[in-house]
Structure 1
Amino acid sequence: MSDVIQLLPDAIANQIAAGEVVQRPASVVKELLENAIDASSDHICVIVKDAGKGLIQVKDNGTGMSETDARMSFARHATSKIRRAEDIYAIHTLGFRGEALASIAAVAQVEMVTRTHNQEFGTCLSIEGSSFKDSEPVAAEIGTSISVKNLFFNVPARRTFLKSNAVEMRHIMDEFFRVALARPDISFEFYQNDTLTYNLAKGKLSRRIAELLGDSYRKQILSCQEETPSLKIYGYIGMPEHAKRTRGEQFFFINSRFIKNSYLNHAVMSAYEAMLPEDSFPFYALFIEIDPAEIDVNVHPTKTEIKLADERTVYAIIRAAVKRALGTNLVTPSLDEQRNEENHFSVLSRVSRGGSHTYQDDNDNSQKAFKQHLALKKADTSQWESMYHQPQDSSYFNFDHGTEEKKESENALTFQSAANRMPSGASLFHDPAHGSSEQPFQIHQNYIMIQVKSGMMIIDQQAAHERILYEHYSLALERRTPGHRSGISQQTLFPQTLLLNPSDLVLVQELREEINALGFDFTIFGQNTIVINGVPTDIKGGNEKEIFEGLIEQYKSYQSDLSSNKRESVARSIARRMAVKRGQKLNPAEMSTLIDRLFGCLHSDYAPDGRKTYYILELDQISGFFK
């Protein structure tokens, strides 16, 4: 048998490597921004056209490169950061593996113009699909400018799998946002299709947060700082009352590198304990400075996933820092631009005296206190329910969207669509298959029981209501006409202003037709702000912002977890957010209406996510329990 193993040509090897590093245009933006920061720049300009598919250009005023270094930077695994294996565990820069430029050049047409401070002329390199096309001296400013054109021009299959411009632009904005937030000491400009979107001056972290998220954040955030012999934490956290129904404003940076870590996120969320409404997420931008030897950033090519040598200690310190910041600052102004940055972070400076034990003990005590609070909260809930007793003749459902203090009647929704009603005489209570005239009743405010001819039916109230709403809104989306609002909307007496982060705003613009078809009427008003002028007729006034934020958050969850189309995801998202929740009390009229509408659905057996909506205990089964 002849030999079959052979070395791949460099061009193919580079394309394979690019598949890990360059997943989409946003990956290119991230890598080029990190290179510009590593070059000691204090001003960076980003230009994006056609959502990065046509052009991505990043210009900086950093150290620049000689002609030799410029050519070497496009070679695989060529780097100035590592000389020996031990250097991998002492990394203070963002890039170090020498993969970025080689991978980008393998799948795009790249032009680099660079010049150092001691050169009279700069160097211009042109590369296409890993092949050098041209190199010549040019007049240039000190620093480096890299233009990436026609991304994936030589890999058409990869280009086909890119999402719409709105989706790709949202990912680009996410990457830019994280880098700009991580480095307030650098000024940034961001141009989208020749329009200046951001012009960020260098300054304090508090100012950068306000520039990126809006001036209202000046009064919504609290400074947070903790320092121990092993690490330092500083940054800002959001006040509990300003928590949003959507994720996306939670940021961790370790040694100025943005990371994703669900374990550390849990540390922050647990520090808020019972301060947040259900399904609410506070803002935080926390920076951790730690010895590079204590972390491994070489876990994934994108370097957003890291490993910590002692995660439990870091968890405990973060939790203690956030709890102390909340307890210390909630009664005082959070930001004062007239004070210097040192005063912003002078809230606390506790030094651990016993390693991690001090924090671990504090963590354990907090867990006990949290459990006690849950018991008290559960007892208080019954009192709230007795205070807001509903009339027995009501014909609507009540919905709890996470704010238990509101009266249930304020969250009541009525469904007038014929799509969600049973034909006259077709009620479950007169169905010959199950015929019964008995009134339904609840079990633990989670399930509805009703006697039927063949036995006893048990209905999951949340799953059943999700099925009703899903079919109702699916029909509305199916009937929509592109470019026209098809949903029935009721105008709000007082329009609600909602501030979104840049990526969520792009998502809302992408889903505009679908959201309008549901009955929402909104306009873009200023930077990252929308005004809700109308809502679906099913929604009672007062919680428009919560419903809208919940819709966006749920859509993002389904978009990442499920392979469903846009229309299905939108319908499932609004149904999930508006459905009656477990633990919510319903009166007999509401239960009867829910049952009637469930069996008016095309697929009444299952919720949109596949859960069963009801089961029937046959008489024979019930009898068997007693034999």
Structure 2
Amino acid sequence: MIELLSSETIQKIAAGEVIERPGSIVKELVENSIDAKADSITVEIKDGGKSFIQIIDNGSGIHKDDLLMAFKRHATSKLKEFDDLYQIYSLGFRGEALASVAAAADVSIKTKTENETAGAFLNIHNGIFSDITPIAMNRGTVLTITNLFESIPVRKKFLRKDSTEANIITNMMYRFAFSNTNISFKYIKDNRVVFETVQGSLKENLRELFDSSLVDNMVEINIKNKNYRFFGLTSNNNYYRGNRGLQYLFINGRYVENKDIQRAVEDNYTSVIPNGKYPVFQLFLEISPSLIDVNIHPNKQKVKINIIDDILRDIKEEFAKQLKSGIEIPGIDIRKKAPEVKRLENIAADQEKEIIEKVYGKKDSLTKDSYNLFKPIHQINDKKIERILPLEENQELLIEDTKIISKPLVKKFHVEEKEIPYSSSQINFHQDETEDKRLEKPAFPKLDNCTIITVLYDTYILFKETGKENLYLLDQHAAHERILFEKFTENYKNNSISSQQLISPVILTMKEDEIRAFEENRSIFERLGYELDLFDDSHLILRAFPVVLGNIEGEKLLIEIFDSFGGSDKDIDSLRNKIIMKSCKAAVKAGDHLSALEIESLLKQLSAAEYPFTCPHGRPTLIQITKTDIEKIFSRIK
């Protein structure tokens, strides 16, 4: 027999779609407070939100005549008809939050509007509404939720432990706090204040919630388009994480998850940060509601964007230019505490020897180079390494003892920092685009007066700018990798990758789908530096491969291409990156002897690179050592 469900059962089923856990309640109610134009919000939870959640705000409040209606399903003040969805800027609009909370937990609410003389109090226990009574209070709303899922034990059984549920809420509160700079937030967990913010800038909030090192390593992003604005902060090459935990994307003030935008942003960090690491960002997309669809899921974290291809293209083209302005030379990290050694006064000779060996190691365990780390430049082996490109013919080179002077000069660049105000209520979608000020590269040590001090272990070039205190340590292998990487990338863009002809062409046995992929994408293989022809229905003939790879690597990569080739832009970019990464094997190695002329050429080419401070794998090419760093090592200062 088919029967209609009772209204109570319908309410509880519907509540399960909206309220999955305590964090769902916090999200819905804080968003309501933001929509109510509150500029002060306090959130308190106990036991991971299972036993107690309280939200206090000073927003517009709910009129007592609307209070009962506010707890009915699909009752909302934010839209009247379906088409209003495409003009809505509020975070909530479905009219499900309060009804779902009341169906899943016990609720008490105190609320007052600006024009009412007294507030109103309502209590809901086991779905039963009390009478509304007057109460003295200031403008705003206080919502208290207790006994979550007591009436839905099957849902309560699947909640995770208190600490896990609390962590979910804590992460959510951090998102709310730094993304709404016009609101003061206070977050209390188990009677302890976790954080308290004041109204300020995005950087100020991040500094309060996280740490100064994060803020100091953030780069401003600001991409403008007639249909949208994409802006915020993203980390430079010196700050990255082992996971995506500090990646935040907001669309019209709402936290969302969008894999396409996330991937587009991360692609800009290829070769800028180490492989397997992730950038940190807090990015905001302001866009006309008519160009997005947020009505996909009750939690509204999935959003469809009509012009996503335009946004991804702009991120690919403009993001890298702006990120470049924040790239910095890494410094040395003074974290390891120097060993404490007793003063050697009044200590017997055998005890002194024992202490020295304990701290510094036995003398015979030290390598020969340990006693002579600083090899004078005139003792550097002058053996030529042909893989480093020579200086241009018209370039003047002067070598005087240990000084190398190169002309033309490399200019010093300056990066200007600006604060980013964020206000979702001040969105202008049709403003005229102004030409952005041209972004300049970060300063590379000036080479017009550069002194090479020595080469350590035939790998690390130690040099300084004459007249300045800072020292620089350059990894010759990483530096040459960066040079080759950018040279190959430029050749790829210009369709000028050099190919090496094979003395004896190679016949490759291929499957039917691989033959078809080749025929459909022959031009791509040619652009990547391969010369391939169809031999018969099941064989290809390889006549040439990218010269930078060498024979063996060229053939191996070709097989990888056919194993993974799909023909999309993403696949093509992946193949290009594979070739570029493999091309780095042609770089000079650690231990290769470089002449003074080759060192000069290496520095000159690196200084002209787009990203001179990291190799293609994201490792640093250059480290700056300041006088302060050295004084800290020797414990002269703290």
Structure 1 pair 14–307 and aligned structure 2 pair: CA distance change class (3 A): same
Structure 1 pair 203–365 and aligned structure 2 pair: CA distance change class (3 A): farther
In structure 2, give the amino acid aligned to 1:118. Answer: N
Name the residue aligned to 1:242.
239
Higher helix proportion: 1
Secondary structure of 2:130's aligned partner:
strand
Q: How does 1:355-374 map to 2 (within 5 A)?
A: 374=578
* CA distance in 2 between partners of 1:381 and 1:187 (Å): 53
CA offsets per residue over residues 556-576 of structure 1, 9 Å max, x none? xxxxxxxxxxxxxxxxxxxxx
Name the residue aligned to 2:260.
263
Name the residue aligned to 1:589.
none
TM value normalised by structure 1: 0.56
Name the residue aligned to 1:73.
70
Secondary structure of 1:17's aligned partner:
helix
**1:378 pairs with 571, 576, 582, which one?**
582
Question: Are the equivalent residues in 1 in contact too, given 2:197–2:205 (CA < 8 A)?
Answer: yes
Secondary structure of 1:113's aligned partner:
strand
Name the residue aligned to 2:206.
209
Question: Are the equivalent residues in 2 in contact too, given 1:222–1:329 (CA < 8 A)?
Answer: yes
* Equivalent residues, number: 376
Name the residue aligned to 1:192.
189
Name the residue aligned to 1:324.
321
In structure 1, give the amino acid aligned to 2:110. Answer: V
* CA distance in 2 between partners of 1:112 and 1:291 (Å): 34
CA deviation after TM superposition for structure 1 residue 328, in Å: 2.7
In structure 2, give the amino acid aligned to 1:219. Answer: D
CA offsets per residue over residues 517-546 of structure 1, 9 Å max, x none? xxxxxxxxxxxxxxxxxxxxxxxxxxxxxx
Q: How does 1:282-297 map to 2 (within 5 A)?
A: 282-297=279-294
**2:60 pairs with 63, 82, 91, which one?**
63
* CA distance in 2 between partners of 1:369 and 1:94 (Å): 37
CA offsets per residue over residues 306-353 of structure 1, 9 Å max, x none? 11112111111223332121123336567567x9899xxxxxx99499
Matched, 1:44 2:41: yes
- Quick check: which has more Rg, 1 or 2? 2
Question: Are the equivalent residues in 1 in contact too, given 2:109–2:141 (CA < 8 A)?
Answer: yes
In structure 2, give the amino acid aligned to 1:135. Answer: I
**2:104 pairs with 78, 91, 107, which one?**
107
Name the residue aligned to 2:167.
170
* CA distance in 2 between partners of 1:382 and 1:163 (Å): 52
Structure 1 pair 81–95 and aligned structure 2 pair: CA distance change class (3 A): same
* CA distance in 1 between partners of 2:584 and 2:219 (Å): 29
CA deviation after TM superposition for structure 1 residue 6, in Å: 2.7
Structure 1 pair 186–247 and aligned structure 2 pair: CA distance change class (3 A): same
Secondary structure of 1:378's aligned partner:
helix
In structure 1, give the amino acid aligned to 2:119. Answer: G
Question: Are the equivalent residues in 2 in contact too, given 1:223–1:334 (CA < 8 A)?
Answer: no
CA deviation after TM superposition for structure 1 residue 384, in Å: 7.4
* CA distance in 2 between partners of 1:286 and 1:192 (Å): 27
Q: Please provide the CA RMSD for this pair.
A: 3.0
Structure 1 pair 14–158 and aligned structure 2 pair: CA distance change class (3 A): same
CA offsets per residue over residues 178-221 of structure 1, 9 Å max, x none? 22222111110001111111111111111112222212222110
* CA distance in 2 between partners of 1:283 and 1:222 (Å): 10
Name the residue aligned to 1:28.
25
In structure 2, give the amino acid aligned to 1:89. Answer: Y
Question: Are the equivalent residues in 2 in contact too, given 1:218–1:335 (CA < 8 A)?
Answer: no
Question: Are the equivalent residues in 1 in contact too, given 2:293–2:303 (CA < 8 A)?
Answer: yes
CA deviation after TM superposition for structure 1 residue 112, in Å: 0.4
* CA distance in 2 between partners of 1:66 and 1:340 (Å): 33
* CA distance in 1 between partners of 2:311 and 2:69 (Å): 39
Secondary structure of 1:272's aligned partner:
coil
CA deviation after TM superposition for structure 1 residue 290, in Å: 0.6
Secondary structure of 1:323's aligned partner:
helix
Structure 1 pair 100–240 and aligned structure 2 pair: CA distance change class (3 A): same
Name the residue aligned to 2:380.
none
Matched, 1:220 2:217: yes
Secondary structure of 1:56's aligned partner:
strand
* CA distance in 2 between partners of 1:340 and 1:146 (Å): 30
Structure 1 pair 341–64 and aligned structure 2 pair: CA distance change class (3 A): closer
Secondary structure of 1:281's aligned partner:
coil
Structure 1 gaps, min length 5 = 343-348, 354-361, 389-401, 407-493, 495-627
Question: Are the equivalent residues in 1 in contact too, given 2:271–2:618 (CA < 8 A)?
Answer: no
CA offsets per residue over residues 558-616 of structure 1, 9 Å max, x none? xxxxxxxxxxxxxxxxxxxxxxxxxxxxxxxxxxxxxxxxxxxxxxxxxxxxxxxxxxx
**1:16 pairs with 13, 18, 22, which one?**
13
Aligned-pair identity (%): 33
* CA distance in 2 between partners of 1:24 and 1:179 (Å): 18
CA offsets per residue over residues 412-471 of structure 1, 9 Å max, x none? xxxxxxxxxxxxxxxxxxxxxxxxxxxxxxxxxxxxxxxxxxxxxxxxxxxxxxxxxxxx
Question: Are the equivalent residues in 2 in contact too, given 1:219–1:335 (CA < 8 A)?
Answer: no
Question: Are the equivalent residues in 1 in contact too, given 2:240–2:278 (CA < 8 A)?
Answer: yes
* CA distance in 1 between partners of 2:493 and 2:247 (Å): 26
* CA distance in 2 between partners of 1:178 and 1:384 (Å): 46
CA deviation after TM superposition for structure 1 residue 226, in Å: 1.0
* CA distance in 2 between partners of 1:340 and 1:250 (Å): 19
Name the residue aligned to 2:306.
309
* CA distance in 1 between partners of 2:202 and 2:190 (Å): 28
Name the residue aligned to 2:179.
182
In structure 2, give the amino acid aligned to 1:6. Answer: E
* CA distance in 1 between partners of 2:575 and 2:432 (Å): 26
Name the residue aligned to 1:144.
141
Structure 2 gaps, min length 5 = 329-413, 424-430, 436-489, 495-568, 593-616, 622-631, 633-638
Structure 1 pair 277–384 and aligned structure 2 pair: CA distance change class (3 A): farther
Matched, 1:135 2:132: yes
CA deviation after TM superposition for structure 1 residue 5, in Å: 2.7
Question: Are the equivalent residues in 1 in contact too, given 2:51–2:147 (CA < 8 A)?
Answer: yes
* CA distance in 1 between partners of 2:279 and 2:327 (Å): 14
CA deviation after TM superposition for structure 1 residue 376, in Å: 3.9
* CA distance in 1 between partners of 2:3 and 2:119 (Å): 40
Question: Are the equivalent residues in 1 in contact too, given 2:236–2:326 (CA < 8 A)?
Answer: no
CA offsets per residue over residues 155-184 of structure 1, 9 Å max, x none? 112111111111101111121122222211
Structure 1 pair 145–341 and aligned structure 2 pair: CA distance change class (3 A): closer
In structure 1, give the amino acid aligned to 2:196. Answer: N
Secondary structure of 1:274's aligned partner:
coil
In structure 1, give the amino acid aligned to 2:93. Answer: F
* CA distance in 2 between partners of 1:381 and 1:134 (Å): 78
Secondary structure of 2:206's aligned partner:
helix
CA offsets per residue over residues 210-267 of structure 1, 9 Å max, x none? 2222122221101110111111111000012211112211111110111001111011
CA offsets per residue over residues 359-403 of structure 1, 9 Å max, x none? xxx9x9698898666534323246577759xxxxxxxxxxxxx87
Secondary structure of 1:329's aligned partner:
coil
Secondary structure of 2:325's aligned partner:
helix
**2:89 pairs with 75, 82, 92, which one?**
92
TM value normalised by structure 2: 0.55
